[in-house]
Structure 1
């Protein structure tokens, strides 16, 4: 490689100039890899909602079926469980994310007040943070001074390093709540599919619910770059524990009532 194409240590390529080892001056994330959006809050809420819907309603069907109820009662219980669970999940996610965001906003106020009262100490603290990251003290002092020229940026950087939270990338409560509602409803309706198609077999409903658990486990594993089979079997195992336990409870209650 021509030495002229290699930047001198301590210098950075000019904007728009070709960079060594990268095609046409592109950055690695533009051609080699991409990152998923992990800041919106939708993926966790959607995955949790789908899994919870499947486990809840499959277990509910197992419980009422174990108690000896008929197909009509099972379907009514499943639909009621779907509605109640979807609204509960949505409101819970909305409240949870909103509370977390309010807490972050409170910490922003605390940090802003601290920087207004003790600007030198706060800047010195950032110097120490940069030194711990591997900068020389001289470079750290220059960098900290640059950062503190913008008060908002200084607050963001302090909170990111001190709390591990970026106050400019808060998840949306509405997105989390809506994702949770929709995915819970989808997951909850899966074990009801055989009944809605005219079948009245509890075994068929539970089997379809278990297949749904495996599918959701595999999809979640794919989105998080984990082995698909392991993710599917892991979710199925957790679901079977809940379904089996609920069936036994329903069976015991049914025997007790009829007895």
Structure 2
């Protein structure tokens, strides 16, 4: 039975997007794959169109140039029609039985808004970048949205990802804000430690910078070697996250009031 819509934002040419798509096609319960493109070359667009013609479950849609990842994810989600929704980065993959495992659990437990799963992080040589047991791995789980399967109705009620331009800089942050909102306002959230999601990391990535700027100082403890002003609690990212969390809270309260009216 097809149940899940998968949204893949692709805001620049990505040679791994076909791998991402094929990892979705191997999943059961798949309803549709929606690729959102923006500001890509005509050649790359032609390649994606070839994939669309090959796989009926695949849809390609475009946005204006220079949109953010939050806007692209929301745009794709607006077109989704599945019971559940996932957001896959264009250079990442869904592993093994991600949907076959999580969809029946969500069906069995309607009290859960969503389920998060473990992450496998590999470098360009296929070697692990970070492993469970490293305290920074736990922090990493809270900054990803691709390892989350969510009821689409819950996503609609919370209003989706932030489109705040403060998240469009080098440090980003909209995924971490979204994950934090889900954990705070859409609890309970299920968790499966098995790695059903693979993040294919690249040199110079935000994760690489995060690992370089932190160090493990004890069991389950790490600290920052240095913090740029934007990352401080009262910096622009902290302010953007706080504003987004407040907005989601209001949206959910309004949605709850409308449901009772």
TM-score range (shorter-chain normalised) is under 0.3
Q: Report the TM-score, using the length of structure 1 for normalisation.
A: 0.27
More helix by share: 1
Bigger strand share: 2
Using CA pairs under 8 Å that are at least 6 residues apart, name the structure with larger relative contact order, 1 or 2: 1
Query: TM-score if structure 2 supplies the norm length?
Result: 0.27
